[in-house]
Every structure is written in C-alpha cells, then in structure tokens.
Structure 1
C-alpha cells in the first residue's frame, strides 16, 4: 500500500517535471507584438514564466480533496504561492493560497464546508487535508489532518513547523495559518483594523500576509496597488528581517520605512531643506518626570489648537521655517500669548524650553540652539509638532495612500497617528502592536483608546491575539512571571486594562538558564561556551543588551572572546542586513522589537539595568525573553533583578566561580603544587622587600652635599657603618 509520503513525493516529482518543461520552452509569441491581443498574451506568458521561476523549488504547501455533490470522485486541489496552469501538471493547476476556494484550508475541521466563488456558494465535503513541508525542492514530510482530525492534530502540525525554525528572518505561515489569523488577514480594507497581539502571537506575520492578500487580484476582485501603499516598521533591523516576505508571498514589493524617518523626509521635501533628526537622547534624562511629561504632552492631541495658532504667526516666506517654529517655542511670552487658555500653565512650561548660547546641555540632552540651527537638526520629540505645522503651511495636499500598514504601533504617539490619518484614503489602515511591549510609555501609547477615540466607531475594528506561537512553554512561563511582576510594580489603570498573560502552546524545551558570574570575564566566558553549544544547530542567535551604552561596555570583550572560539558576532546597534540576521548578532532591546531568534542570550539581568525604580524595565526584560524560539540564557554579575528574584521555579540556576589556577612550586624537588593567589602573595612580598632594600642602600650625604656613607646590613639585619 502506498503511503501518503510516497504518493506526495511522486506527485512533487511530476509537478517539477512539468514546470521544468515549461521553463525550457520559454516564452513564445504567435503573431506580431504590435497586435493588442498578442501583447496581452505575451504579458500573461511572461508573468506565468516568472511565477514558475519564483516557486519552482517549493511549488505548493497544502492539499485538500473535496467532494462535490453529484460527483463520483473527489477533486484533488493543491495550493501554493501563485496561480499556475501548466500543460502536463498533475491536476491541471496549482491554486493561489489567497483565492476564494482557499478559505477551505483555514476554516474549522468540520467535514462539510462552503466557499463563495463568483457570487455563488458551493457546499463541499472535505475528504483529506494535508500540509506538505517542502524544502529546497525535496519533500521533507507530510502532515495529514483530514475529517477525523481533532484540534490536537492541528497543534502537532504547528509544533512541527515551530520546531523547524532555525533562522531569525520572519517566515511565511501559509502552511500553518490558524482560523483566527486567517480571519484577520482577509478582513475588509475599507476601515482601520487594530490588532493588539501579544508577544509571539504572529501579528507581524499577519500584517505581511495581509499585505499579500490585499494585493491579490483575480476574476472576482481587484487588489490594492502596492505602489499606492506604504508599510511603517519599528526599525531598520525589522525591515531587513521582513523585506523579502511580501515579494515571496505576492510577487510584488511594497515600500517599507521607519515612521520618524519618513516624516523627516516629508518635512525636507516640503521645505526643500536637508534637516537631520537629533535622536541622541541620553537615557538618564528620560527618567526625569518633567522631561517624560513634556514628551507625552508633545505627542498628545492637546497641543493641536496651539500649533494652529503658531502656524498663523509664521510668515509664509520664512527662509527657515523650522528655525521660525523653534523661535516661537523658545519665547515664553509669545507662547503664553498664543496659548489663549489651551494648555494649563504647567503644560505650557513643559512645552517651553529655553536655549543657552554656550556649549552647555540642558538636562544632559539639549544641544545649544545656535549649534542646532547651524546643523539643521530637529529634535525627535518635536518632529510630529513641526510636521503638523509644515502641513498647515504647505501649498500642496499631503500624499495619499490607498492603505497604510503599521507595525509596533505602541511606540506611536496619538499626534503621529492623527498625522497618518491625514494620509490614509478613507481611513484605510492596518495597525498592529502590543501595549505591553511599550518600553517608552511617555513617547507612545498606554491604551489603544488613545487611537480609537480619533475615529468613528463604525470606521474601525479592534481585535486581540493572546496565543503565543513562538516560544517554548518554559520560556512563556518565565515571561508571564516577569509580566505579572511588572503589572504589580506599574499598578496603573492603563497597564491593568491591557494586562493579558501569554497563552503557551505545549511545546516543551529546557528551562531558561540563569547564570551568576561575579566577574565580567566569567560572564562572557559562560556566554561563549553556551554559544558553542548551539552554533552548529542554530547559526542564527541573538545576544541582547539593555541599551546602546550597555552594549558599548561589553562589545569589545564579547567580540574578542567569540572570535577566539571561531564565532563571528555582528554589532547590530545601528542596522542589520539579512545576511547578518543569519548569524550571531548583538542588539539592544530598543532595536530588537519584532525580531525573533532560535536561541537568545540576555546579558546583565541585574538590579542595575532592570530595577523596580522604573516599571518599564520589566517590559524591556519581557520583550527580551520573548524573542527566543527554543532556548533562553540569562546572565548577571551584580545582584539579580527584582523582576527575577522570585522566578527560580521557572529557570535552571547555576553559578560560575573563578577557578584558582594550580601551579608547581619551582623551589621544591617534588614540585609541590600551590594556588596562584599564594604565588601572587609571595611575589608581592618579594617586591616590597626589594623596594625596602633599595631605599636603605641609597648613598647618604650631609647638609652641604658631602658623601657620608651607605648603610650595610649584617646577617641579622642590623645596620652597620663603614
């Protein structure tokens, strides 16, 4: 009897043979190219040719057999990344995973389902459902979950896919899309879709699969134009990890950029200037309540009426519009006059920031105004304010997008979201994020209501995802402990409203490893030893630091120790390429949001870097722990972070002590061993004795410089004079 694997292996061989014949045949035209119909046929042939090239090694990922009423035998359907119709192809065609009939793949496991095609509903009976794991043109395995399947069978399929993860690049989930994810991917693009997804819930993958779905066109619907859409990512590192995903899923590309960088570009375009963003904000200044409150105010909607008053005071032909705006910001009397009761006095004081003329720095952050103006810089927290005023004074309408996609939206301020709505045609947006991962609450949002209140209730849809598909059960347990501790420390209404523990899958691995190393060198030695354990199995790994300052302190030692063991570590403090993400990288927490790695190492999880003094430190530790698929390592030199002091049931704890080196005493014939610290004491004693002898054997002279004598020592150590 032929097994399902043998059957699918034979089918794959036949499929690749048919595709190869089509590629060898190339593109042929019947008729002259100036004929309209022939040009249309040529374009279709060329598109089909390129589609075959793109999916040749992995032509499909799923199969279902459906039984139509009145038909004698079931129809066998294969689904992949493109619609392919090739002569000699088994079954005649491969269906696109975004087609209407593909809804049968992602619905419940009930034996009878229906789908809508060309306005007609078709009822079918599902005979077989299979997931086909094909790697580099070879069939790896077949997972079957037919009509007799249970939810556990589907879970096993997901477990296998997760266990195979060995790279940090965001991968497609076409083979394992779950019903709740499929529903969000296919949600209507005519309104704004908000998705609050917990760490590891697949919200970034959903966002990119939604792009591919909305760009899809067939005889039933016309997709969005990718050139008329834009995607905002959290960092350049995240763009590197996802930039090939949509082209692989949809065969088209979309512009991906960072929100602050895009707004700065718009300011420069509208003003024909070359301003740069000053984001050199010293972290300790952000811990000052006044400064945090000022940033929160600048990102709120309360300042909009005041900004409109400021815009009316700026000359239309100002040679330097940004300088004119800052001039008003720095004039306390003028601000008070323009305020007209819009802001309270204490809020106005937060908006007003005097500028020195010398080289001092206010609060450890501010550059002198004269230097700022000379270097054409805009402070990061002022960018949204300035862009809003520039739009008010612009003679042209802001650019419009058919759809805006935004990842990690928790870091976006309400004012930034308001600006995005001015660029979204009919409010068509997809916004994903997780309020529990906002590590800069003063600059972002603490509640989704800060964004949803800006839209009519009928113009948005809000969804939540709590299931973690990324990390092992043991890692999720530790992450939930950190999250719960942070919840108690923060103890705010916003945190309480959004507190949702992760729902873990029963995918078990080792407990996270917690290593105490009392010295920096010992910690790095332990880190490199753990890297060596996994570098062959999982070449893609991440070493996570608290911030840029912390990374600078440990980078040289980590790089040097790793290189001695043959491991190359890439410094990801600025940016990372897709090639870098396939190896070992060191990245601060701020730049690692959205990324994921098979193995993660977190340095210095102590009460210095992660303290109760600032409750968002718990969010930072939560983000770091939830980057790992399979294995997590944590290290500390100082006393353990209070977020982890009660986490011992969830970790395997070890201590690395300095091992005394055993040497051989050279002055004994037997070579008596002794410890290195004893040898050091002996050498130190000999050194002090030598200095004492040198002092007492220096020539002596009287007050007028005449040489007297030098002291000598007899066998008993007493001085004698010659």
Structure 2
C-alpha cells in the first residue's frame, strides 16, 4: 500500500485509492529464503547474493563460454548479480583458458565498481579485472568537456570511418627509386617495383588484414628483401639477420617514411579536429555534412597533441586511432554493466577488447540516461561486435517491492513504452511514502534522523545541483552522512547525486524533489529516466520528499507490477491524487 504523509502530521495515513481502470492489483508474498535474504539489512558494498539466484537467472549464469549474451533486465531483476556469478562460473568451468585470456568486468563509474568489488572475492575469484571505460584508456588525461551536441556526434559510429580515412590520408605512393648503400655495395629498387610493393601493402591495410604499423613494417621488410635479391644477383648473400638489419636502416626507413609515415594516435586526433582540409577529406562522400564538420572543429581541445585538454569523448577517438595503428589486446570474456548508456564509439572500444572472446551485456533500455543511450539492443549489439548475441529478458523483480516498482513503473509509458512492464515477486506494506512539504531541508533531516535509528543502509538521493545544500543542512543538524563521489564506495549512510545512483541499492531511499531530478538532465525524457533509476534503488522503503509538484508522468496509470503467482493476496496500488 502507498502512503502520502503531511509533513506537519505525526501520523501516517493511507493515500485514498484512485478509482478507474488505471489501478492494478498488488500481492502480499509469503515468507521464504528469497525474501529473508533480500530483506536482510545491508551495510555497504554489494554482498554475495548466491542465495537469491533464481532458475531463470541460473540459466544465464551457466551459458557456454562461446555464447555472447545480452540481458535486458528491469530494476531489481538481478542482472548485475547474474553477470558477476557468470564470471565466477566461467572461471570455474574454463579455468585454464580464462587464466590466460582473462575476464574483464566494466562498470559505469568507480563508485559502482567499489560497490560490487567484494562479490567475486567472496566467491573465491580474485583474478577478474574491474574497470570503468575511462580507466581502460587511463593514460589519456581528461581535462576538457564537450557540449551535449559535440559529445553525441563524437560518439557516433561514423567517427570510426572518419578516423580510418584520416589515418590512410597520409599514405603517398612512391615518386622515385630507392638507392641503398651498404658495405657490400650499392643497389637500387626502381620506382615501379617500389610502387608495386607499396600498393600490395596498402591493399592489405584497406582490407583489414593488418594494422597500420604492421603494414609499415611489412613494406620495410619487402623493400629490404628486394635489395637482397639484387645483392644475391651480384654474388652477395646476406643472412636473414642482415636483411632484418637492412629493413631498419636509415635508407630503407627513410624511403618508407616518405610513403607510409609513422602515426601517433593523439596527434592524428588533434590534427583531424584542427585541420579543416583533412577533416573534409575524411568526411567526404556524405559521411559528415558541413554543419557536423563545423561542430567538430569547434570542439577541438586546446593545447597540442601532448598537452591537449581532451574531453571524455576524445578519449575513445584516441583509443580507436591506437587500434587502427597498433591493434588492441583482448580478454577471454568481458562483462559490461549499464551497457545501454554507451555511445557507439565506446561500444567499439569494448568490442575490440573481446574480439576473440565472448561478451555478457547487462542493461535496461528504460534506464538509459545519456543523450546517446541505446534505443534498441539490436543496434547496440552491432556496435559491440555481437549482432548475433542471444537476448535474455528479465522482467520478474526480486529486490524492489511491488509498491515501489508500481509507482516508478508509471514512468515507463513515457521513457520506454516498448518494454514489458516488470513485475515484483515481493511486497512490503508501507514501503512507499510520499511526503509533500514546504521545507525540503527540514523534511530530509527528519527522515535521516529516523533512518539512523534503523538497521541497514540508507541513502538520500537528490539532483546533483542540490547535493551540496543538503550536505550543509545535514551537517548543521549534526546528521552528516557520507557524500558519494564518482571515485568512492557507498557506505551504510550516503548522500548520493542522482547521476551516481545507477546500479546501487539501499534498504531505505529518501528521494528528494523528483521535479529537480528531472530538470537536471538536458532533455525531459532523460530526466524521467534518471528519476526512474532513483525511484528503484530501495529494497525496503522509499520516501519521496517534494515541495514542487510531482512530475505529471507519475500520475499516469500504473502498469502491472505484481507477480501474479498462485497463492498471493491482491491489494490495490492506487493512482496519485493531489489537491
């Protein structure tokens, strides 16, 4: 049952049930191991939740190593648990192979990684690497920022083609012969033969047979071998070692440099963003229009290639360029959480790190909160290099009580109408409280004081811009809690910016000013998705404190949120009515 509480009242009163077709049944579940384990109070980082793994989840965990999976999971369906237990299972079943190739878990930020860090060690696995996307390219210093428009464009999959064209733009066919002088004599490779060697190497590069740097080495080796043929015709027979030395000689390297120059990833990206002519050539044939080219040139980071203040989106341009030049090492299996938020260029960065392995993709399209968030898994999986990955859909939730899931579910028709509304396997009467107030800070401090008297974890979640003021109010009331940052780990009592709430869970959540959370995003739909994330972080209780009217989307008819399992008792989850 949902409650609405007047901040001046001492008692909690039930919100009158709304009449009409919008109301949906809820159920009161019986007790059991699952309920007891989920409802056991939390004290900080995510714990091993093997006791809560359900049959439909276990099937995903035990899928073959060769199978790439995508798990579309509604809040509380256990997709993160599935991913972590899949890592442990695969390491157990394929220990020798994965010991060599490795397993990588990628999360959205360090706070999330800190939250899940203890799970695999608790299962006996200590070799899995945990990383954010940015940490995969941690030698590129981020010091700048793009506009939303520029960041979205830089994350577009077309940028991979633009970068490849820019790199290949530096190739120049030979314009003369190559003369090589050694102690044994002087030999000349004619322009026509050199051009043929160059054309063969360029064709292999264009076909993707090898990377740019390997192509350069091959050309040098072929050129040195051409000199060897001439030497042998004259009665000199250089050893293989001498030919390798010749390939590294000043004469051969100089000839190669003129037609196939060395490339540096950061320098290439910097030049592409500052050279209109190069960008125009790389963006030809309708790849980018004039407005898009101007937007990229305007988003060039200040400084040189070594001192540039790169933006987060630039990092993945550099990573793409490095792969084009030198290639990228990979893992035997990669697990990526919150994958719906990745740009196509970020997806490509992950795809090349499991090119010879398999992939487990975890996410929820309804929780996509970046401007470039995926709208379909088919497109996202194509960017991840796994268009044939098997899609699993989890809609039966265990963590979020039906009362809370039903309330948050009112947003689904506005943020992801194509998704099946999730159901909940458990209820918690009184789990949801709406608290309208004229003094948000006072209401928050009162709720924090109340939460401190209970066991388990709690979090105050607010719009990013409101966190600092709430921190001051709580300190003033001698109720200071830990302020969660992108590089910290959640504790038992946290003040959480809405942008960092994704993937976390707390026994009690105090959600502050939903309208401000929505307004904190660049687009209303993204704001509603952010709010959906915030409203689905609670395991036992959700209190929504607001001075502004609740977003209109929360007045929508509630989708079915209750698991209609046999033997459960139906109760009403009403429509909000406010006066």
> TM-score under structure 1 normalisation?
0.57
1:408 corresponds in structure 2 to: 338
Matches within 5 A, 1:200-599: 200-217=76-93, 224-225=98-99, 228-262=102-136, 264-265=137-138, 268=139, 275-278=140-143, 280=145, 285-286=147-148, 291=149, 294-313=150-169, 321-346=265-290, 348-349=292-293, 352-354=296-298, 369-370=302-303, 375-394=307-326, 397-442=327-372, 444-453=373-382, 459-484=388-413, 486-487=414-415, 495-497=416-418, 499-518=419-438, 522-547=439-464, 549-561=465-477, 563=478, 567-577=479-489, 581-599=490-508
Distance 1:472 1:179, change over 3 A: same
The aligned counterpart of 1:190 is 66
Deviation of 1:619 after TM superposition, in Å, equals 0.6
Instruction: Write the deviation string for residues 465-498 of structure 1: whole angstroms up to 9, x where unpaired.
Output: 01111111110111111223x24xxxxxxx443x
Change (3 A) 1:587 1:476: same
Deviation at 1:509, TM superposition (A): 2.6
CA contact (8 A) 1:405 1:430 kept: yes
User: Residues 216 and 222 of structure 1 are in contact (CA less than 8 Å); yes or no, is this contact kept in structure 2?
Assistant: no
Aligned to 1:161, which of 37, 44, 62? Answer: 37
CA contact (8 A) 2:484 2:494 kept: yes
Q: Distance in 2 between matches of 1:636 and 1:586?
A: 17
Cα displacement (A) at 1:223? 6.5
| SS of residue matched to 2:126 | coil
SS of aligned partner of 1:405: strand
Aligned to 1:170: 46
What SS is found at the alignment partner of 2:324? helix
Q: Is the 8 A contact 1:469 1:505 kept in 2?
A: yes
Give aligned pairs, total. Answer: 449
C-alpha separation in 2, matches of 1:572 and 1:400: 32
Give the superposition deviation at 1:452. 2.8
Change (3 A) 1:538 1:575: farther
- Aligned-residue offset at 1:279: 5.9
**What are the Cα deviations for residues 243-301 of structure 1, in whole angstroms up to 9, with x where unaligned?**
11101112433110101221x23xx3xxxxxx3113656xxx53xxxx1xx43332232
Q: For residues 647 and 515 of structure 1, what CA distance do their matches in structure 2 show?
A: 20
Residues 391 and 646 of structure 1: CA distance in aligned 2, closer, same or farther (over 3 Å): closer
Distance in 2 separating the partners of 1:424 and 1:388 = 14
Deviations 1:480-525 (A, max 9, x none): 11223x24xxxxxxx443x22121124223142222222xxx3222
CA contact (8 A) 1:195 1:462 kept: yes
Whole-Å separation in 1 of the counterparts to 2:556 and 2:29: 36
Q: 1:609 to 1:453 in 2, by over 3 A?
A: closer
C-alpha distance 232-448 of structure 1, shift in aligned 2 (>3 A): same
Given that 1:297 and 1:347 are in contact with CA atoms closer than 8 Å, whether structure 2 keeps it comes out as no
Query: In 2, are the aligned partners of 1:168 and 1:595 still within 8 Å (CA)?
Result: no
Change beyond 3 A, Cα 1:353–1:639: farther
Aligned to 2:531: 621
Q: Secondary structure at the match of 2:380?
A: helix
Give CA deviations for 1:301-360 in whole Å, capped at 9, x if unaligned.
2232221111124688779752442232233333112322141415633652236xxxxx
Aligned in 2, Cα 1:418/1:232: closer, same or farther, shift over 3 Å?
Answer: same
Q: What CA distance in whole angstroms lies between the structure 1 residues aligned with 2:387 and 2:515?
A: 47
CA distance in 1 between counterparts of 2:308 and 2:168 reads: 23
Q: 1:180 Cα deviation (Å)?
A: 0.4
Work out the CA distance in 1 between the residues paired with 2:264 and 2:167: 14
Distance 1:454 1:471 in 2: 31
Q: Whole-Å Cα distance in 1 between the matches of residues 435 and 455 of structure 2?
A: 21
Instruction: Determine helix, strand or coil for the equivalent of 1:303.
Output: helix
Q: Residues 162-210 of structure 1, C-alpha deviation per residue, up to 9 Å, x if partnerless?
A: 2224334322232232110110000011131111111111000111111
**Equivalent residues in 2 for 1:668-679 (5 A)?**
none
Distance in 2, Cα, partners of 1:226 & 1:472: 42
SS at match of 2:459: strand
Is contact 1:230–1:404 with CA below 8 Å preserved after alignment? yes
Separation (CA, whole Å) in 2 of partners of 1:454 and 1:638: 40
The offset of 1:226, in angstroms, is 7.9
Tell me the residue number matched to 1:708.
none
Higher relative contact order (CA 8 A, sep 6+): 2
1:332–1:352 CA contact under 8 A, matched in 2: no
Could you tell me the TM-score, scaled by structure 2's length?
A: 0.70
How far does residue 636 in structure 1 lie from its aligned partner after superposition? 2.0
Query: In structure 2, what is the Cα distance between the partners aligned to 1:611 and 1:455?
Result: 29
DSSP 3-state at the match of 1:378:
coil
Give the distance between the partners of 1:431 and 1:222, measured in 2 at CA.
Answer: 23
CA distance in 1, matches of 2:69, 2:106: 15
Given that 1:227 and 1:255 are in contact with CA atoms closer than 8 Å, whether structure 2 keeps it comes out as no
For the aligned residue pairs, the C-alpha RMSD in angstroms reads 3.2
Distance 2:70 2:288 in 1: 32
Q: Unaligned 5+ residue runs, structure 1? A: 1-151, 269-274, 356-365, 488-494, 656-722
Task: Report the Cα offset of residue 596 of structure 1.
Answer: 0.2
8 Å contact from structure 1 (residues 611, 642) kept in 2: no
